[in-house]
Amino acid sequence: MSVYLQRCMGGVKGSSTTYFKKMTFGCFAPWAALELHRNGAYIAGMNYSAQNTLPFLKMHGLGNDFVVIDGRGDRPVPDMDTVRAMGDRHMGVGFDQLALIMDDADSDALIRFYNTDGSESGACGNATRCVADLLMRELVRDTLVLRTERGLLPCERVGDLIRVNMGQPVEDWAAIPLSRDVDIDALPLQGAPSAVGMGNPHCVVFVEDADAVDATRIGPELENDPLYPERTNVEFIHVLDRRTIRQRTWERGAGITLACGSGACAVAVASARRGLTDRVVTIKLDGGELHLDWRDDGVWMTGPVAYVFDAVWRG
């Protein structure tokens, strides 16, 4: 059985001291911590070797939380049982998605995303921004390109925020994917929602008051509707004005989350497509605000990212 060891600020000896002092003063060097774990370390009074250990970072974007694992080179990567075990909020670490960083010849890195239930997703906007921040720090650059299942995504630092181009929305019903040819802005479902693909499927439900919706009841019903053969993420929204939208999210494979980046892109697209908002909008999610700009070269999303801790999973 896997055992989860949380980092203990006072319990690390030797060369790690400097790192943790830096942490205390807010200067971050996340990969330094991973190197420490990789080489085996004395943590929280336990001496263990690097064998069967999986170093990871915990990060979040607006409370949409992630375990981030660096699988580049010959570093260890989790199997599916480990992904599910880590995702358990009571018996494991807990996350909305696990982001696995891999080598890629044509970009700065490839990222794969896994939901809490172990299913893989082609897109995760907030985790993409988190990984972009990590790698920009590592490469000492303010721009880079990440590959996800949907292609190459340019990322940039904008002050304290991270921006990613999530690409153009998928509007072809078969590619979203839907199970049949229907009007994507009036789906034959309750509330006539819109369908948008952002490398993953979304169902955008326009309601009077997103805060009043019973998302834990309606979310899973829509997630599993046969119209979406690969299930769907669900966004409940109401438009506040032409530049502001309120959004709550039920995520495929993860349930209620405090924010969903690809979902925010889908919301910006669906709402502009209906003529309700401009192409530049601020979206108010439970965990904070994202800024969306649907340009000719794709949907750009800007928002904050945060580090929570680093630790080692023992298998």
For ligand LBFN2T5F, the binding residue among 96, 133, 225, 310 (CB under 6 A) is 96
Is 252 one of the binding residues for ligand LBFN2T5F (CB under 6 A)? yes
For ligand LBFN2T5F, the binding residue among 53, 148, 194, 262 (CB under 6 A) is 262
Whether the Cβ atoms of residue 225 and residue 233 lie closer than 8 Å to each other: no
At a CB cut-off of 8 Å and minimum separation 6, what does 274 contact? Answer: 185, 194, 206
What is the rounded distance in angstroms from the CA atom of residue 257 to the CA atom of residue 254?
Answer: 7
Shortest Å, Cβ 115 to ligand LBFN2T5F: 5
Is 270 one of the binding residues for ligand LBFN2T5F (CB under 6 A)? no
Nearest to 70 by CA among 131, 117, 122: 131
Confirm whether residue 199 is marked as ligand binding.
no
Is 225 one of the binding residues for ligand LBFN2T5F (CB under 6 A)? no
Confirm whether residue 252 is marked as ligand binding.
yes
Piece of 7-15, 29-37, 213-221, 248-256 that binds ligand LBFN2T5F (CB under 6 A): 248-256
State yes or no: is 27 an active-site residue: no
Shortest Å, Cβ 201 to ligand LBFN2T5F: 7
Is 64 one of the binding residues for ligand LBFN2T5F (CB under 6 A)? yes
Q: Angle of helix 125-139 relative to helix 30-38, nearest 10 degrees?
A: 80
60 SS3 class: strand
Is 124 one of the binding residues for ligand LBFN2T5F (CB under 6 A)? yes
What is the rounded distance in angstroms from the CA atom of residue 169 to the CA atom of residue 195?
Answer: 10
Torsion of CA 151, 185, 231, 302, to 10 degrees: 40
For ligand LBFN2T5F, the binding residue among 16, 53, 82, 126 (CB under 6 A) is 126
What is the rounded distance in angstroms from the CA atom of residue 191 to the CA atom of residue 63?
Answer: 28
Buried b (16+ CB within 10 A) or exposed e, 125-158: bbbbbbbbbbbbebeeeeebbbbbebeebbbbbe
Residue with tokens 């506040």: 240
Based on CB atoms, which residue is closest to ligand LBFN2T5F, 54 or 124?
124
Is 253 one of the binding residues for ligand LBFN2T5F (CB under 6 A)? yes
State yes or no: is 124 an active-site residue: yes
Amino acid at 251: E
What is the rounded distance in angstroms from the CA atom of residue 109 to the CA atom of residue 114?
Answer: 17
Confirm whether residue 115 is marked as ligand binding.
yes
DSSP state of 301: E
Binding annotation for substrate: 64, 97, 115, 125-126, 200, 233, 251-252, 261-262
Task: Kindly list the catalytic residues.
Answer: 124, 260
Q: Which residues bind ligand LBFN2T5F (CB under 6 A)?
A: 64, 96-97, 113, 115, 121, 123-126, 200, 233, 251-254, 257, 260-263
